[in-house]
Amino acid sequence: SQKIEQNSEALNIQEGKTATLTCNYTNYSPAYLQWYRQDPGRGPVFLLLIRENEKEKRKERLKVTFDTTLKQSLFHITASQPADSATYLCALGTNAGKSTFGDGTTLTVKP
Amino acid sequence: DVKVTQSSRYLVKRTGEKVFLECVQDMDHENMFWYRQDPGLGLRLIYFSYDVKMKEKGDIPEGYSVSREKKERFSLILESASTNQTSMYLCASSPGGSHTDTQYFGPGTRLTVL
């Protein structure tokens, strides 16, 4: 069956370090992959999208990689700040416009 | 900016009641979605709609129905609420008409069924 796994439910890092979050999937051939941020009590907010034929995408301090051979995406936040603390969700999308979400990883950046 | 609004942030209902959750988007998006989010289970798709009066079942449609009479509005209906439907309900919309679709979420409705 299709499965999406995001690394550890919680990730704690020190301010200024790079946070790396992992999204692995099985039995799935996504056309694209998205990362969302979710703060407590709020809906997810879109951050980045990467297509199956792209290896890497950047936006300010954010970087996403997508390896369709390993069936894995890595999400990096460089020079992390306490304001980056949130839950981050990966979502695999098909050309039909529907996405399947992972459970999320909760990131805490300590000052 | 895209705005997706949901009719209530918090709702408390009794078992057996009929519950309506309303969602409105203001960007003329074609696609609309209803999810529920529970600890340890993530976001699960209940129903989605690609067009007015059109609906498709998601992964967990049992106990729910939907209505999309107008493009901007997508309603989720719990015909007879049960305690296991206590959850955070999230509505989303996306532009449609392309191969990649970023979803824009509402603030969520936290429903408690007593």
pLDDT tens digits, A76-103: 999 999 999 999 999 998 766 678 899 9
Q: Tens-digit pLDDT profile for chain B (114 aa)?
A: 669 999 999 999 999 999 999 999 998 999 999 999 998 888 999 999 998 988 999 989 999 999 999 999 999 999 999 999 999 999 999 987 665 678 999 999 999 999
Give the pLDDT confidence score for residue A9 in this predicted structure: 75
pLDDT value of position B69: 94
Which residues of A have a CB under 8 Å from any CB of B?
31-32, 34, 41-46, 49, 51, 89, 91, 93, 95, 97-104
Sign of CA dihedral B94, A105, A81, A75: negative
Residues in chain A with CB shorter than 8 Å from the CB of B103 are 44, 46, 91, 99
Average pLDDT over residues A71-75: 95
Q: What is the mean pLDDT of residues A66-74?
A: 93
User: How long a stretch of residues is chain A?
Assistant: 111
Quick one: which of A108, A88, A86 has its CA closest to A46? A88
On chain B, the residues whose CB falls within 8 A of the CB of A95 are 99
Q: Decide if B45 and A43 are in contact by the 8 Å CB cutoff.
A: no
E strands within chain B? 4-6, 10-13, 19-25, 31-38, 42-49, 56-57, 65-70, 73-78, 87-94, 104-105, 109-113
B11 DSSP 8-state letter: E
Q: What percent of chain A has pLDDT over 90?
A: 71
Q: What pLDDT does residue A78 have?
A: 97
| Alpha-carbon distance A47 to nearest alpha carbon in chain B (angstroms) | 9
Instruction: Identify the band that residue A7 occupies on the pLDDT scale cut at 50, 70 and 90.
Output: confident
Average pLDDT, chain A: 91
The one-letter amino acid at B113: V
Q: What is the DSSP letter of A18?
A: P
pLDDT at A73: 95
pLDDT of residue B2: 66
> Residue A8 has what pLDDT?
72
- Checking if the pLDDT of A43 tops 90, the result is yes
What is the mean predicted confidence (pLDDT) over A97-111?
90
Q: What is the pLDDT of residue B96?
A: 79
CB B60 within 8 A of CB B48: no
